[in-house]
Chain A
Amino acid sequence: MTNYGMVIDQERCIGCQACATSCMEENNVGLGQAWNRVLTEGGDNIETPAGSYPEDGSDGTGTMSMDFQPTACQHCENAPCVKVCPVNATYTRDDGIVEIDYDKCMGCRYCMAACPYNARVFNYDEPDHVPDDGTGSVAKRPQGVVEKCTFCSHRVEQDLDPACVDACPADARIFGDLDDEDSTVSKYVNKYETHRLLEDLDTEPSTYYVRGEMTPGRKRIGKELEGTERKDVALPDGGDDA
């Protein structure tokens, strides 16, 4: 079985928002909505630290701290959103990706009440795009449905990494099969100290965060999905990108 998951190395993340931006482009997300957000753990505003500067003549221990928390759908194994959807519009695919059938969704927003991560957005208005035809490779969703990150399932099906993973200049995002012992994600989850968001809620997210020790990051050899045939034939320098 395949069970896709993601490791996000917060030690590598530089808070550049490239993942958030590429997500919007690739998935044709309407203006004013975000499937993927890079939150700032620190001050009250984005990219502001918590704490204070070290004072002159003190022991040199300033309390300033700031970290980045990239947050999108966690693709939980025990996904509350899947369990609450009355019409089976939100479902878990065989490969572990939590996805929405936009044709079935009646827009009751029970899944938004159920998701502890606020990963979901609802099209209250007709989605607005620039340019009007939209961007990327995913059809725009109608007004009145809930939408969210799909781990770029349309790319994964073509043996490509999700757009956010491909876009990360710091190699902080690693995507792969958690059921495959030899995948980079499995190795990192085993080797490094990882945590998952709101772990005590028992939702069993498939997104792991690394804190403390920096990983070697994603192997930067093309945009092909690890462990696929396509990857095997790709050039090591990423020249073949279909």
Chain B
Amino acid sequence: MSETASTGGFGTPGKVWLGTLVVLVAAGVLAWAYQLSEGLIVTGMDNVFSWGLYIMLFVFFVGLSAGGLIISSVPKFFHSDRYDSIAALGVLVSFACIVVAGLLILPDLGRPTRVVGFILSPDFRSPMVWDFAIVVLYGLFTAGYFWLLTRRDLAARGSRLAFGVKDTEAGRKRDKKLSFWAAAIAIPLAVALHSITGWIFALQIGRGDWFSPLVAPMFIMKALVSGLALMLVVAILADRFTRFEFSRELVPELGKVLGIFVAVHIVYLLAAERLPHAWAENFEFWSITSGFLVGDSLSFWLWTLVGGAIPLALLVTPSLRRKVWAVFTASVFAIVGILFEGVNLIFTGYDQLNIDAAPGVTTGTDYLNYGSSVWATSGSYTPTIVELLISIGLVALGALIVTLGLRFFPVFPGEAVETHRREESAGDAAVADGGQAQTDGGQPRTDGGVDE
């Protein structure tokens, strides 16, 4: 890349980390090539359960993309520079997540080459067309916003990535003003992105609990929870393993905000969604209560207990909230919880058939020879290795984007002054993270790794 590359390469652990990511991405590409040659028959989906891991993760990564942008834009909107130190990192993470989300749609398609239909023959009634537009817009916007936040520092470094922009006082002032307007666009854009993604499901009258006016607000809230949690995880890890410095005082502060988000999501919105059903369907006080509180699937408990109760307990305790490990743990758990919220959502849409009289529906995947059982009266789904490899490959790609962004863009607080001091520690600390992190199953440490 630019001259910055010469100011200190990746250390050995950094190289191991990058190498692992590249291997995972390559494995994903190979798996996708295999899926392209064989067709979607190599996935776990069928005619009853016709959306699986790809869509679950699409929803999840759209949500994850919220946090960074919100954290960087909301303070700017109120002319506060309190969170400036993590603004650029936040937008970088948002960008990586939306790229992963957008790409996750491709392997879900039966004929990916026909994706041009979005442009050649769109039907504007389709929520997927709205979502396509907003995801593309959001991706371009975050890329532009990231460049806006870093371009003066890039210029100061003499990087070609500044594209001719000069590092001047007046220029920096102007960028500050511009970033206010960018923030003013970013907030409604994020609200639109998450609502529209929710409406992909919430407008479907034929899929049980999907058809609910609460889905769109729920998507916004879960985006705030998982996005902020991811932001915290990435900032804490980047602080630990790279030159990036994450101000300690921000940890309890953002931890508190995360606690509020989790409370609104799990305690308030979930209650608002479940209570009407539980109340209307039951008669005794205790059966109403249990209908309200007790879920019936593993994903429900992973979502509410692991992703709700535990992080909340860690974050409401002031003494714990000041501990980095506690906020880190709470964030990881919250992310895991939101992942399973998405899993739960897909399952509630597909596990039951509206018309489930025998013999049911043909699965479309079970015909082997005469006498094969090809019918199903309920949905079941387990992702295959191919789906996992493709998904992990894409997640690794996201981690790669964040890693390279951290390395080649000035996303550090107080960039200009710090250039020299940074160099000495940059030797092997550049991206010296993850050496251990990824040995435990190749989970990328930045975005999404912890949550898969």
Contacts of A82 in B (CB 8 A): 123
Q: Knowing A121-B47, A125-B39 touch, does A107 contact B357 (C-beta < 8 A)? A: no
A124 vs B52: C-alpha distance when bound (angstroms):
13
Q: Is A34 an interface residue (CB 8 A)?
A: yes
Secondary structure at the B interface, as helix, strand, loop or mixed, is loop
**Which A94-136 residues sit within 8 Å CB-CB of chain B?**
104-110, 112-118, 120-126, 128
The listed residue (B109, B113, B355, B364) touching A32 by CB distance below 8 A is: B364
Contacts of A217 in B (CB 8 A): none
Residue pair B123, A87 in contact (C-beta under 8 Å): yes
Contacts of B48 in A (CB 8 A): 118
Q: Knowing A117-B355, A121-B364 touch, does A86 contact B129 (C-beta < 8 A)? A: yes
Contacts of A126 in B (CB 8 A): 39
Residue pair B121, A143 in contact (C-beta under 8 Å): no
CB-nearest residue of chain A relative to B346? A113
Q: Knowing A33-B364, A144-B111 touch, does A89 contact B117 (C-beta < 8 A)? A: yes
Secondary structure at the A interface, as helix, strand, loop or mixed, is loop
The listed residue (A41, A69, A124) touching B364 by CB distance below 8 A is: A124
Residue pair A145, B111 in contact (C-beta under 8 Å): yes
Residue pair A122, B117 in contact (C-beta under 8 Å): no
A229 vs B91: C-alpha distance when bound (angstroms):
67
Q: 1/0 per position for A131-161, CB-CB distance to B under 8 A?
A: 0000000000011111000000000000000
Taking the nearest CB of chain A, how far is it from the CB of B46, in angstroms? 7
Taking the nearest CB of chain B, how far is it from the CB of A62, in angstroms? 20
CB-nearest residue of chain A relative to B45? A124
Q: Is B239 an interface residue (CB 8 A)?
A: no
Contacts of B127 in A (CB 8 A): 84
Taking the nearest CB of chain B, how far is it from the CB of A113, in angstroms? 6
The listed residue (B117, B125, B206) touching A106 by CB distance below 8 A is: B117
Contacts of B45 in A (CB 8 A): 109, 124
Residue pair B123, A106 in contact (C-beta under 8 Å): no
A180 vs B381: C-alpha distance when bound (angstroms):
46
| Size bin of chain B's contact surface | 35 or more
Residue pair A201, B206 in contact (C-beta under 8 Å): yes
Taking the nearest CB of chain A, how far is it from the CB of B339, in angstroms? 20
The listed residue (B121, B125, B207, B372) touching A87 by CB distance below 8 A is: B121
Most buried by A among B126, B128, B203, B372: B126
Q: Knowing A87-B114, A122-B47, A144-B40 touch, does A40 contact B357 (C-beta < 8 A)? A: yes
Residue pair A86, B40 in contact (C-beta under 8 Å): no
Taking the nearest CB of chain A, how far is it from the CB of B248, in angstroms? 46
A198 vs B355: C-alpha distance when bound (angstroms):
9
Contacts of A44 in B (CB 8 A): 358
The listed residue (A48, A86, A108) touching B123 by CB distance below 8 A is: A86
Taking the nearest CB of chain B, how far is it from the CB of A107, in angstroms? 2
- B: which residues have CB within 8 A of A? 39-41, 43, 45-48, 50-51, 105, 108-115, 117-118, 120-123, 125-129, 132, 200, 203-207, 349, 353-355, 357-367, 372, 374
Closest 5 CB pairs of A and B: A107-B110, A32-B367, A116-B206, A87-B117, A144-B110
- A: which residues have CB within 8 A of B? 30-34, 37, 39-46, 48, 69, 71, 80, 82-89, 104-110, 112-118, 120-126, 128, 142-146, 197-198, 201-203
A32-B365, A203-B205 given; name 6 further pairs at CB < 8 Å: A32-B372, A37-B362, A71-B355, A86-B118, A86-B122, A201-B206
